[in-house]
Amino acid sequence: MSRTEALQKLSEDLRERLGVLRGVSDDHRREIRDADNGNTDSLDQASQTASIEVTARLATHESQEANQIVLALDAIENGTYGVCEGCQTPIPIERLEVLPYSTLCITCKVIAEKEGVILPEGESRQFRSSDEDD
């Protein structure tokens, strides 16, 4: 598969994901709105409030991800997608398939992490202690 074909495929996957996200996000917004309307039994109020907080957090996360997808799709159309912001070289398609919103190639990402500019995805700094020998 050529890079163009792979990007085409990725863009289809992203569109599909965007459709799913928007559907889920609409459901969550509806849930929040219904709760606001006092559409609940007062006994359930506390658990309802907690669940709405979770729902609101999910909705925020979903809309952030949807924004990232829209930006990625725009970049794919403009031909600027998948180019490393650090060194301007194309990011390998294998990396984009795993992390479609990557804006750095692995080399630049490692450098950025070493310099403490950004943290690795989903990791804390504790792994760094192994670097210290004394």
Residue number, 72 or 84, with CB nearest to Zn ion: 84
The terminus-to-terminus CA distance of the chain in angstroms comes to: 49
The label of the residue with tokens 């992203």 reads 14
Nearest to 11 by CA among 86, 62, 56, 75: 75
Q: Looking at 16-24, 30-38, 65-73, 80-88, which segment touches Zn ion (CB under 5 A)?
A: 80-88
Is 105 a binder of Zn ion (CB under 5 A)? yes
Give residue 6's region: left, alpha or beta (phi > 0; psi -120 to 50): alpha
Q: Applying CB under 5 A, which part among 4-12, 43-51, 103-111, 122-130 lies near Zn ion?
A: 103-111
Smallest distance from Zn ion to CB 7, Å: 18
**Which residue in the set 20, 54, 87, 117 belongs to the binding site for Zn ion (CB under 5 A)?**
87
Interaction of residue 72 with Zn ion, rule CB under 5 A? no
- What residues does 90 pair with on adjacent strands? 83
